[in-house]
């Protein structure tokens, strides 16, 4: 008999509103508006249900979660329920007093994103020049006594600046740095030809990463999220579908991962109508790709099926239109040419570095709620 696994992480996407317009944003192409968002009472109910499910960590994300004035109430409830809280922020809108009130409510850590090492590179990627605000946010996070984790999404437009980017994070006092090569969903897939690095650029960046990781070992933990298009096998996305974590979108719809809203052929349930426990354990969308029974060949007869779980369902859908196919990143996938074709384009000698980038469309960013 199959035993339903227990989730340990909840990604609470409290809003899609955001002051940035990143060209690689993994939020859905159609963003939710403020009037679609769950209210604080709904979120308090969801957090209680998450704790009942066994969730240990809550990542408060968006959009920019700081645009919600009731964030402290959610943090305090997580603290009361014994769940660890992490704020995932662009840093824009973070003030000393806001950091203080979040820490007083029980916030445990913060993850600050940067797009590059200058205002110009931030503007190119996120259509915002407020690099100064990010530096200020790093200081505020540290002064508030929180561990500073930083995240940088890497791609063709900033990989050659990796040394300088790492310098910035070290100078700002990051304890942990996540170097996340772009995953191609949503806006990133739309901008894929502009963002996909060539092999030589990537190899140079890997060498920089390895050198700096060794140099800074005593100061900062560094993590390299693989550029999966260049790998022979797919990533074990989310540790398998509906195995370890769940995402509640701003409107209350619940997904097994932050990108699954893009799978338009599936119906996902909402906390407005169902208990989180039922959605996790029994809803058809969560059951659809749990385990290995659903797998088609070549995964079904593959020795790696318990290692990578057939890869990423969102990537399979984004590239083939069928979430139930083998992830095309896999070299055994019948759709693998969809990945290798993109790599051929990325490695053409006469290719420019920029092109027509599409920024995520603007959203209203009124602070407070």
Contacts with ligand SF4 by CB under 6 A lie at: 233-234, 298-299, 302, 304-305, 308, 310-311, 326-327, 330, 332
150 or 238: whose CB is closer to ligand FES?
Answer: 238
85 or 326: whose CB is closer to ligand SF4?
Answer: 326
CB 73 within 8 A of CB 47: no
Which of ligand SF4, ligand FES, none has residue 246 at its interface (CB below 5 to 8 Å by kind)?
none
Which of ligand FES, ligand SF4, none has residue 234 at its interface (CB below 5 to 8 Å by kind)?
ligand SF4
CB 369 within 8 A of CB 67: yes
Write down the least CB distance from residue 313 to ligand SF4, Å.
11
237 annotated as a binding-site residue: no
101 or 320: whose CB is closer to ligand FES?
Answer: 320
Write down the least CB distance from residue 317 to ligand SF4, Å.
15
Write down the least CB distance from residue 226 to ligand SF4, Å.
14
131 or 309: whose CB is closer to ligand SF4?
Answer: 309
Q: And the tokens for 209?
A: 């990463």
Write down the least CB distance from residue 180 to ligand FES, Å.
13
User: What end-to-end distance do the CA atoms of the chain give, in Å?
Assistant: 47
Which of ligand FES, ligand SF4, none has residue 224 at its interface (CB below 5 to 8 Å by kind)?
none
25 annotated as a binding-site residue: yes
Which of ligand FES, ligand SF4, none has residue 238 at its interface (CB below 5 to 8 Å by kind)?
ligand FES
Write down the least CB distance from residue 283 to ligand SF4, Å.
25
233 or 294: whose CB is closer to ligand SF4?
Answer: 233
Give the annotated binding-site residues.
18, 22, 25
């Amino acid at each position: 008999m199959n035993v339903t696994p227990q989730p340990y992480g909840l990604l609470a996407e409290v809003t899609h509103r955001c002051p940035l317009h990143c060209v690689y944003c993994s939020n859905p192409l159609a963003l939710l508006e403020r009037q679609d968002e769950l209210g604080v009472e709904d979120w308090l109910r969801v957090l209680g249900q998450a704790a009942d499910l066994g969730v240990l960590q809550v990542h408060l994300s968006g959009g920019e979660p700081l645009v919600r004035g009731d964030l402290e109430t959610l943090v305090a409830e997580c603290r009361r329920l014994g769940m660890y809280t992490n704020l995932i922020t662009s840093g824009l809108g973070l003030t000393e007093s806001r950091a203080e009130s979040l820490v007083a409510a029980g916030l445990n850590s913060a993850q600050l994103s940067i797009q590059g090492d200058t205002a110009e590179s931030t503007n190119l990627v996120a259509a915002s020049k407020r690099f100064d605000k990010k530096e200020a946010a790093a200081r505020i996070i540290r002064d508030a006594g929180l561990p500073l984790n930083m995240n940088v999404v890497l791609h063709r437009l900033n990989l050659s600046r990796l040394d300088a980017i790492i310098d910035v994070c070290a100078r700002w006092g990051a304890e942990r740095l996540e170097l996340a090569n772009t995953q191609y969903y949503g806006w990133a897939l739309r901008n894929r030809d502009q963002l996909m690095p060539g092999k030589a650029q990537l190899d140079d960046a890997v060498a920089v990463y390895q050198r700096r990781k060794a140099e800074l070992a005593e100061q900062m933990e560094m993590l390299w999220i693989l550029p999966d298009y260049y790998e022979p096998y797919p990533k074990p996305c989310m540790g398998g579908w509906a195995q370890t974590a769940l995402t509640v979108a701003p409107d209350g719809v619940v997904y097994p991962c932050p990108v699954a809203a893009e799978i338009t052929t599936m119906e996902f349930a909402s906390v407005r109508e169902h208990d989180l426990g039922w959605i996790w354990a029994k809803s058809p969308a969560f059951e659809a790709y749990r385990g290995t029974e659903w797998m088609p060949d070549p995964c079904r007869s593959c020795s790696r099926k318990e290692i990578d779980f057939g890869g990423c369902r969102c990537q399979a859908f984004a590239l083939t239109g069928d979430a139930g196919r083998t992830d095309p990143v896999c070299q055994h996938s019948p759709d693998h040419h969809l990945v290798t074709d993109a790599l051929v384009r990325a490695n053409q000698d006469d290719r420019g570095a920029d092109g027509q980038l599409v920024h995520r469309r603007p959203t209203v960013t009124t602070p407070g709620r």
